[in-house]
Structures are given as C-alpha cells and as structure tokens.
Structure 1
Amino acid sequence: MAVRPPALRQSDSIFDPLAAEIMGEKAASLGRAGEKVERSLRALRAHEGSASDRATLLRTAAQAVHAYFIQRELCGLRRHDDVIREYGIPREVLVRLGAQ
C-alpha cells in the first residue's frame, strides 16, 4: 500500500503578493474613509450657523458614512453597530444614508 502526501494548492505553499497588495489597499482605503467620517462628523458637531449650511454638512456626513460602510463591507465587516457607537454617528445622519 502506497501513502501519498496531500496535494497542496499553489496558494497554500506560495506567498501571493497580489492578494497581499489588494488586502493592504483595502485597509488603507478603509482608514481614509474612517478619517473622512471623523472630519465630517466633527464639522457637523461644531456647526453653529444657518440651517442650510447644516443641511449641507448633514449630507456630507451621510455620504462619508455611507462610503465608509460600503468599504467595511468590501473588507468583510458586515456589522456596523460598534462603529456607529464608536464614532457617535447621530441618528439624523443614519436616516440619510443612501439618500441623495
């Protein structure tokens, strides 16, 4: 009786530089999107001007949060509850997600 070792797939035995590069780009993109969320929420919280300016800041914040959530999902992170709590994303921003 002959015993053969298990066959290895190419991806099991060789470092895949393209996959590593893609993973790095996803992480960097997620970081940039998170920074944009922080900036837009900071501007919204600091706003003391007119209602029309506030509406613009709300729209900007909602777009930043929406893009961030999409980027998280592309990285395999599907639940956003912790992020909403961590960033302190207000309900008025969350109800506008995806609305243009």
Structure 2
Amino acid sequence: MTVRPPSSLTNPGARATGFDLLEYELMSERADALGRHGLKVETAIARLEACTDEGMREALLDEAADVVWSFFITRELCGLLSNKDAIARYRIPRAVIARLGVVRKPRTD
C-alpha cells in the first residue's frame, strides 16, 4: 500500500519524488516503533512498581532496563537526543537507569 503525504507538508512548487515518499513512510514507521516501545516501557515500569517479591524484583529490573535501553535507541533514531523528558514522562526509576546498557551473562540455573 502506498501512502501519499498530506499536501500541507509538501512544497507546492516541487514534485514528489520516490525518495520523498520513501522518507515519509520511514518517518511513519519510526513513529509507530517509538509508540510501541513507549507502551513496552509503561508495561515494564508498571510491573516493576507492582512487584512485592524481592527475588522477582531483580529480574524485573533487568527486564525494565532492557526495554528502556531499546526505547532510548529508538528515540535517538527518531532524532530525539535528550532522554530527560522521557525519564520524567514514564517515571523511570534510578535503579533502572543505573542498569541501562549492562550486558548480563546468561543464567545457568
């Protein structure tokens, strides 16, 4: 399915090229991905806040850190370089921020 950008976003004197249409579709996909990642962050933080078991909390902290790290990378791909507003908006705890980007060894339980 092809999507044409709204006429208000195009230059009236220029013709739309294939590159312009592709860029519009890519921007749309980036925005959709950012929204999906935002929902994952909300879910992970809510699970973490609702947790009462200390043993389970460590696993949820690791999961939340991975989700937030992925979200921050997606934000950067969208051109949003500062994460301060996202940290405040999603109420991301400092314990999660401290674990961002940490590569953990696989568990051998």
TM-score range, shorter chain: 0.7 to 0.9
3-state SS in 1 of match to 2:79? coil
Please report how far the alpha carbon of residue 65 of structure 1 lies from its aligned counterpart in structure 2 after TM superposition. 0.5
Aligned positions of 1:1-100 closer than 5 A = 12-14=14-16, 16-49=20-53, 51-100=54-103
Please report how far the alpha carbon of residue 73 of structure 1 lies from its aligned counterpart in structure 2 after TM superposition. 0.2
Q: Distance in 2 between matches of 1:13 and 1:86?
A: 39
TM-score, normalised with respect to structure 1: 0.83
User: 1 or 2, which has the higher helix percentage?
Assistant: 1
Q: Distance in 2 between matches of 1:84 and 1:13?
A: 41
Please report how far the alpha carbon of residue 18 of structure 1 lies from its aligned counterpart in structure 2 after TM superposition. 1.0
After superposition, the C-alpha distances for 1:34-82 in whole angstroms (9 at most, x for unaligned) are 0000000000000011x22111000000001000000000000000111
> Larger RCO: Structure 1 or Structure 2 (Cα < 8 Å, ≥ 6 residues apart)?
1
3-state SS in 2 of match to 1:98? coil
Structure 1 counterpart of 2:28, one-letter code:
G
Let me know the Cα RMSD of the aligned residues: 1.1
Can you give the 5+ residue segments of structure 2 that lack an aligned partner in the other structure?
Answer: 1-13, 104-109
3-state SS in 2 of match to 1:35? helix
